[in-house]
A and B are shown apart, each in its own frame.
Chain A
């Protein structure tokens, strides 16, 4: 009895410690967003400061953050849609079809994962510029919209579906697209959520590409807007934190909404 109590106490303390480590920076960010620059480094984390929502008001007064937010939401959403749709199509193909060029295609996928954006950013920019896509949504979103990891996650998930499910649907008269939509996709839903969340985050935090391809202030995304407050020698921490809170909220909401599936899927697909 006492041993069980001890184990329980130990587990709870460990969890409490981990929770504290995770939440402390968030708390710091929240409280700093309510403080003046002077207060941030002189008062405790749990001091609520004197600025109230002043940092938020001045940040939004200075820059069009709602436009940035819309741009970010648009970029991330299109990226998620493209990645889920193309990823599940490619994943199904790689998982369940045998054809002569499949190994070659798979090699191309592997290689494309290994090339970092930084390595190709100049030629990519030149190409996009040649399209006349600089300072357009197409240029901002499409070149980096597809997250190749989506193919991997879907392929792994679909491989584990027994062939009989697919064959049964085929005999019953389903086209391949219907099999994908009505049989395969519902069975890999947790993995689809993992792909969606990972891709959303990737697009949401994307910095380099939007920085290069946009020069018009109204085409910018949130991370670029935040960076604007760190210019030169005068970093306005209060405003930066206010904007960070604003930028973190949508991902937090998105994650909480899909949390149940995400945990299930992350365990199933081995993604952390």
Chain B
């Protein structure tokens, strides 16, 4: 087992630089998710850690050992691919045992390891089958088996669940997390699905355009996003952003509508972006009046599309709301859960706010 240290890593394809000096560290035994929109460089980052892709500048260390020039096989990493990459001409047992066969281990030793690995993943009844006779989830488990059997110091996952249907994805998500708890090995997991990142990882690294936007524990990112991009990317439904301004120590929407929130300390006047998560909006008889545009009951909660003085707003409430489009409701914003951002740079501008 070992941690991974990424320092100032950049990657250029010809004259085009796609990764611009990324640094982050992955502690030994932790589960780190790399997340971002497509083209942000998360898969390239993973491939550079695996050694499948060279790095143009910076250093990558795996287990305190400089890995820059090491070929993939000498990095002691195992990778699970998005399309599984299990070999169609080999049975499940042969697929799982393949890495050991490459090390020229004895037949009996390989069989023993395959049986043990299959037991961890509930694959015993399928060992003699060929991949074409397996379901998507089973194939995914075989791919994980081939990674586990090597007992590598780092596991790399490249969007392993994106080819599965929704139910199976939730199930495999839990299985991978349990696997991490059982094995305790460092795992690096690339995904574009923030729910996967939030639910599985100890630490989330948000990437955009080849740069780290923010990294930290998932709930830190949720509670204290460093900028508007992270705030919008983490959380579902996404955070509401309203154009606002600070006037006389109070927060007002563009157009003058008061939000009944004021700064606890003196605050410079000027434009800002007001952010509030849908789940931090409450219904209350003495709140701000809003018009209902759309009601989406999901059973557990109700999603409401609202109009607040010409600004549209999504709220998620736990209670059952009997309302229909056109009705007027009253909402309040939890002052501890609001986020303020610079309208130019998108940087978060933390400030203590109290209700009026």
Contacts and interface: CB of A to CB of B under 8 A. Distances in A.
A172 B146 contact: yes
A168 B81 contact: yes
Given A171-B79, A172-B102, A187 B89 contact: yes
B73 interface: yes
B81 A178 contact: no
Contacts of A182: 98
Contacts of B77: 171
Nearest to B90: A186
A178 B102 contact: yes
Contact of B103 (A167, A168, A170, A173): A173
A180 interface: no
Interface in B229-254: none
**Secondary structure of the B contact surface, majority rule:** loop
A167 B85 contact: yes
B83 A162 contact: yes
B174 interface: no
Nearest to A170: B72
B81 A167 contact: yes
A164 interface: yes
A246 interface: no
A172 B77 CA distance: 8
A224 B153 CA distance: 65
A164 B85 contact: yes
Contacts of B146: 168, 172
Interface in B124-169: 146, 150
Contacts of B99: 172-173
A186 B94 CA distance: 14
Nearest to A168: B85
A175 to B, nearest CB: 8
Nearest to B150: A172
Nearest to A179: B102
Nearest to B94: A182
B85 A173 contact: no
A183 interface: yes
A167 B83 CA distance: 12
B186 interface: no
B81 A173 contact: no
A170 B73 CA distance: 6
A183 B85 CA distance: 11
B87 A171 contact: no
Interface string A169-205: 1111110001000110011010000000000000000
B93 interface: no
A171 B88 contact: no
A17 interface: no
A69 B135 CA distance: 51
B88 A187 contact: yes
Give the size category of B's interface with A.
Answer: 20 to 34
B89 A186 contact: yes
A173 B152 CA distance: 12
A169 B89 CA distance: 14
A106 interface: no
Interface string B342-354: 0000000000000
A165 interface: yes
B73 A173 contact: yes
Which of A170, A173, A182, A189 has the most chain B CB atoms inside 10 A of its CB? A173
Interface in B61-91: 71-73, 77-79, 81-85, 87-89
A167 B52 contact: yes
B102 A174 contact: yes
Given A167-B52, A168-B79, A174 B85 contact: no
A167 B77 CA distance: 12
B78 A172 contact: yes
B112 to A, nearest CB: 18
Nearest to B143: A168
A167 B48 CA distance: 13
B227 interface: no
Contacts of B72: 167, 170-171
Interface centre among A165, A171, A182, A183 (most CB of B within 10 A): A171
A255 B233 CA distance: 60
Contacts of A165: 85, 87
Nearest to B53: A167
Contact of A172 (B52, B73, B83): B73
A162 B85 CA distance: 8
A167 B143 CA distance: 13
A249 B148 CA distance: 52
Nearest to A187: B89
B87 A183 contact: yes
Contacts of B83: 162, 164
Interface string B318-348: 0000000000000000000000000000000
B208 to A, nearest CB: 25
Given A164-B81, A167-B81, A168-B81, A173 B102 contact: yes
Nearest to A183: B87
B334 to A, nearest CB: 46
Contacts of A172: 73, 78, 98-99, 102, 146, 150
B151 to A, nearest CB: 12
16 contacts: A164-B83, A164-B84, A167-B79, A168-B81, A169-B98, A170-B73, A171-B52, A171-B73, A171-B78, A172-B78, A172-B102, A172-B150, A173-B99, A173-B102, A174-B73, A189-B89
Interface of B: 50-52, 71-73, 77-79, 81-85, 87-89, 98-99, 102-103, 146, 150
Given A165-B85, A168-B79, A187-B89, 11 more contacts: A164-B82, A164-B85, A167-B79, A168-B85, A170-B71, A171-B77, A171-B79, A172-B78, A172-B98, A173-B103, A187-B88
